[in-house]
Each structure stands twice: as C-alpha cells, then as structure tokens.
Structure 1
Amino acid sequence: MSVDRTTWEHGEAPLNLLVLGAVVHGYTIPLVWIALDHTGNSDTRARMWLVLRLLQALPARRWKGLVADREFIGAEWFRFLRPKGIRRAIRIRKDTILDDLRADTCFADLQQGQFCVLAEQTWVFGERLRVVATRSPSGDLVIIATDFGLWETWKLYKLRCPCGMHLRQHQGQGL
C-alpha cells in the first residue's frame, strides 16, 4: 500500500487529493481517497481516517506494508500505525532526530550507490524502527524508517513512484 497526495489543476480550483492505494508493478491503484479542503500537505487526522476506512474492507494482515514519502511523518501518525498491525517503510527528512542525532549526521559518509542500515533499532518519532539509507545518483540522501529489513525495504520503496524510480539503478550494489 502507498499513501500519497496529489493536486489536480482543472478549471479555477485545484483538487487536492489524499490517496491510499495498492502498488502493483510501480503503479498505485487508488482504493480510498479524500479531497482536502485546502492546498498543501495533509494532516494526521485525514491520514488516519483514510487508513481506518481501508481497514474496514481490507484488514492489515492482507497488507504487505505501507510505503510513504517525507510528507507522511510525525509521532502521532507513527504511533497510530503499529497497533493497527501496519508495517511501514516511510521516508524521513534528513533533519529528523534519530535517538540524539540528526539523520544526515548518521549517514554523512554514505556514498552514491551504497546502502546502509543502522546497527540497532532507533527511536524515530517515538517508535523503535530500523533506519536504512542510500544516496541517489543525484547525491540526495534517501533515509527510510522501516519495520522491514534492508533489502525488503528497498524492494518495497523502489516500487513507489515517482521517488522510488531513482533507487532502481542501485539494485544489487553492495553496502
């Protein structure tokens, strides 16, 4: 499953949609969505409502996990997912605090094409998670807080479009 937000511009008023869907071969098939009454990012309550709505029809045990980009972070959101049985692979910002350090500090020496996982689970937004990272071909630091192992995280995350596209080039490269 993937959660994302998209804005469609048609006519005078843009349509800002929050969508939760199944990822199949790199495409997301929308299953539930909500039109947000504002521009910009969604709030945690809207995300929670979307997940609860899908859980009514499709229990979490049928989900491989939830993949999301940096917009979908925060302590309340992370705490909400675990008791629902939803495993995550969520990209976090480079300034996110992991235990007592910024994420970009933890992965400062990471080179393009390398993958790295912190040796221990780390506190991320009040939850104990693995944290894995790579550098994209353009040099961007891609950091993901996850309930999955290193390679399973990348396998899931690279299916998510459009951000996962640059990770396909790294598949099979060493740590």
Structure 2
Amino acid sequence: MAIASALILKTTRERWWALAPVTASTLVWIVAHQLAYATEPLPPPEMTLAQLDGPPLTLSAPADKPSVINIWATWCPPCRREMPALAQAEQSHPNVRFLYVNQGEAETTVRSYLDRESLSLTHVLLDPIMALPRHYRTSGIPVTLFLYADGRLAKAHLGEIAPERIAAEIARLK
C-alpha cells in the first residue's frame, strides 16, 4: 500500500494527505487500546450480598485465593450463553473462588432459571441495587472480573467470555 501510494501520488503534499488518516487512525487505536485494557487495581467493595444458598457474603472479606466474579442477569442472552462455561471453569479450578452476582432480580427468578438450566453454582449472590458494577465502574452485562488472592482487581472482561479466555485469565492470577 505504501509503495503504491508513493508511485501513484506524485507530490509530497498528496503523500502527506494520504498519510494523515492512517496516522490519525493509528493514534485513535492506540488510545482506545490503552483505555480498554488499563484495569485499575481496585480493592474489593465493602458490601455484603445475600446468597441463594448460604449466609450473606461480604465481598471485602479475604478469600485467600483468586476470585472470578461474574455479573449477570437471567434476561441477558450473552449471560445465559456463558454460564455453562463459567460453571465448568468453577469445577476445573477448585483453587479459585467463583461468585455469580445477579443484577436486580428476585430470588425466585434466579433460582427458577438455575433449576431450569440444571446449573449447579457454589456462590450465587443477589445484588438488588446493582451496586457492584458501580464500584468497579463497569457498564452493561455480562462482566467477568478476575481478582488476585488479596482481592485487588486484575482484569475486567466486558461481554460474553469464552472458555479459553476464562482459563487464560485464571492462569494470570497465579
């Protein structure tokens, strides 16, 4: 492309005008990449959420092992598609704590969905006021958060997550 441009465009001014959009788009890509992949190492929030099965869980309490937090809802198609992969990852990684934080839905709705889909998840939490996404400054769902053993955020993945990405991010936490 550069050689063709050099041969076709005769004047230096034409070459500079051809180069300007390439330079601008490269700059935009670099800035967008930095913004998308820069994850602030936030500490866990000081909040306690109700569990479907078990006592309320305080997210800031030390887990002494890495954690994966999935922020989801039953009405969200990408959330529903990724849930079996997360359940499988939970079974494959017993040294990682998995938390499934439902956003704003009633306990009966969540329980009915999990039963209907035959999903057996250890820690399903209810976030009725959707406070967790505000703490981590995320928008939209699903969001999968990867936390180091000390609770600091290592990575936030927005959107449906593939099994390979789950495994790769968990490997990075160790």
Q: TM-score range by the shorter chain?
A: under 0.3
> TM-score, length-normalised on structure 2?
0.24
The structure with the largest helix share of the pair is 2
State which structure, 1 or 2, has the greater radius of gyration over its C-alpha atoms.
Answer: 2
Relative to total residues, which structure has the larger strand share, 1 or 2? 1
More relative contact order, 1 or 2 (CA 8 Å, 6+ apart): 2
- TM-score normalised per structure 1: 0.24
